[in-house]
Structure 1
């Protein structure tokens, strides 16, 4: 990817976020929460103990100390229960699946963390080298905007006549590219342009949401231009070297497979019903409080008034913002509707 790049780092008590904006569109939203199991983060290196060998799954379950993990093995591998190994996380937990690890070599001693995963700041520098990190109010706004875009179900790119829908099911990620033809424009060229933009934006949004697995794309039009459509898809996902592409069917359906690496964004932020979790609501209140304090440096007290269960979690985090921050529990405040007031 090329073009104008802005990189944002927001360090709010309880959670650090990073966002990357390329050509006016968010491509990455990184989140690390203080209470995330350190040994389950992508890239963390640990000593693990084989807790169970499961030949049927062609793998073993590994005790990392503060988190379980799954270690795939080859047919010729010989592992035994209780064996110690040095491992590195290659995929974070998702849904009912634990983290996936790769064996680095033999290990000794109790399960423990050897080397923590990269910080959000370090990841941002790796993804966008030689780009200055933007902090402060701009960073707070950016990570909130990136979250809003990532969780949206549909996206309209009117300049290209594209209506894009993305949905993740248990089995796959479904992408639907709809095209609204423009009067006076060649229909075939219009569909080709819509598919180029739709695939480009789908690749960006799938990365933003941290999805992987099987992806099925319903392209605009049929599969008469299958070769050109496949080439367009490969270009859109060129940043993902482990992507595996199928052919475009005569119905205009494209299948591809992407690796899983990080916990999907919705599993970090939302509950099973698609609503923000208590932790997400809590951290959002702290971020809003911090933003207000940065934008108003003269008011003696900035108060967040919220539901009692939220207040109990917000209070210790808000105390790290200094004496100007005050948290009040309000039994009348609906969940997720906390208010920021000046006092």
Structure 2
């Protein structure tokens, strides 16, 4: 089902988007942090670059993007570049774990979409979908983002899909525990495999994943069932997104291989550190979100946000000028201080 609605939660330092299908299910997520635009190459944006080093073995060049770091530029047949040359490029793929952003030579026609606009345009129905503004701390948006970081999800018909992104690929495994199947074993296997394939397609879009993915299907499988599972995945993915994707029918070992274009930095890399914990930036922005939500609920009281020390330090160095900006909307009654807690905490101010 194509995207029909877009939820947008705008808070100080961060805007979160949730795309919903016709059944009000989250279909894709986008995270916009304007303060880091100066240091991140954002998909779709046009940048001035300089060719730092040509690499014929890789078929491209490494380009210096200034404050945004380095990117890899694929050189197409007929394109001639020299080291040190100044070029204009467009960002095709954002950076991800151990991978540079990828850029292409910009055309003479300026790009019109970048960031959230390009993300919307890449979703079927996204450009025309109605935008619904949601208040800080909206439960639906919070739930969608939390679910997209979870290692497993419950399938509607019972059972669970375990998903994990490794260095090489996305691995997905089906757990049938708790699922009640009717009919033959083959019919039950087909039902849960097809449901899991559809769920994996959605999870790849929600989490910002691309590259190689493998779904370990439940036996028994025959050729016809394998083709139906492949079709279930491709239809679910292509119904929502215009990104390029391919899939093979499950192998003799029950493994369905998938390849999808990368576009965004995976959501987990934006929100978590290498150990899977929220970064200092994430906790600081979560605290600001909680503070705004509390200020809306308590329209007169003075409120204090306590942040973990490293999150408070990040906020001080980020240049958001949080208290003055918040005062413009809620009055000079919101304060922020370092605390001893591991999580943000909002309380009435003394």
Q: Please tell me whether the aligned partners of residues 244 and 260 of structure 2 are also in contact (alpha carbons under 8 angstroms).
A: yes
Q: Distance in 2 between matches of 1:287 and 1:93?
A: 26
In structure 1, the partner of 2:344 is: 338
Find the residue that maps to 1:341 and give its secondary structure.
strand
Match of 2:255 among 221, 242, 253: 253
| 1:164 maps onto 2:161 in alignment | yes
Match of 2:322 among 306, 317, 322: 317
In structure 2, the partner of 1:328 is: 337
The TM-score normalised by the length of structure 1 is: 0.87
In structure 2, the partner of 1:18 is: 17
Query: What is the Cα-based RMSD across aligned positions, in Å?
Result: 2.6
Alignment of 1:48-87 (within 5 A): 48-67=49-68, 68-74=70-76, 76-87=78-89
Find the residue that maps to 2:52 and give its secondary structure.
strand
Q: Please tell me whether the aligned partners of residues 48 and 89 of structure 2 are also in contact (alpha carbons under 8 angstroms).
A: yes
Q: Distance in 2 between matches of 1:209 and 1:178?
A: 20
In structure 1, the partner of 2:30 is: 30
| 1:92 maps onto 2:99 in alignment | no
Q: Please tell me whether the aligned partners of residues 162 and 179 of structure 1 are also in contact (alpha carbons under 8 angstroms).
A: yes
Q: Please tell me whether the aligned partners of residues 17 and 120 of structure 1 are also in contact (alpha carbons under 8 angstroms).
A: no
How far apart are residue 19 of structure 1 and its match? 1.1
Q: Please tell me whether the aligned partners of residues 182 and 188 of structure 2 are also in contact (alpha carbons under 8 angstroms).
A: no
Q: Please tell me whether the aligned partners of residues 179 and 191 of structure 1 are also in contact (alpha carbons under 8 angstroms).
A: no
In structure 2, the partner of 1:305 is: 306
Q: Distance in 2 between matches of 1:134 and 1:147?
A: 17
Q: Distance in 1 between matches of 2:130 and 2:57?
A: 49
Q: Distance in 2 between matches of 1:218 and 1:298?
A: 55
- The runs of 5 or more residues in structure 2 that have no matched partner are none
| 1:173 maps onto 2:170 in alignment | yes
Q: Please tell me whether the aligned partners of residues 243 and 260 of structure 2 are also in contact (alpha carbons under 8 angstroms).
A: no
- The runs of 5 or more residues in structure 1 that have no matched partner are 107-113
Tell me whether 264-273 or 227-236 shows the greater mean CA deviation: 227-236
In structure 2, the partner of 1:120 is: 116
How far apart are residue 183 of structure 1 and its match? 5.6
Q: Distance in 2 between matches of 1:59 and 1:185?
A: 55
Matched residue count? 331
Q: Identify if the C-alpha distance between structure 1 residues 314 and 303 changes in structure 2 by more than 3 Å, giving closer, same or farther.
A: farther
Q: Please tell me whether the aligned partners of residues 42 and 115 of structure 2 are also in contact (alpha carbons under 8 angstroms).
A: no
Match of 1:262 among 257, 261, 264: 264
How far apart are residue 226 of structure 1 and its match? 2.3
Tell me whether 262-271 or 245-254 shows the greater mean CA deviation: 245-254
1:248-297 deviations in Å (ceiling 9; x for gaps): 21221110111111101111111111111111111110111111112221
Q: Distance in 2 between matches of 1:16 and 1:183?
A: 42
Q: Identify if the C-alpha distance between structure 1 residues 275 and 91 changes in structure 2 by more than 3 Å, giving closer, same or farther.
A: same
How far apart are residue 88 of structure 1 and its match? 0.6
How far apart are residue 117 of structure 1 and its match? 5.5
Alignment of 1:180-259 (within 5 A): 180=177, 182=180, 184-224=182-222, 225-238=225-238, 239-259=241-261
In structure 2, the partner of 1:144 is: 142
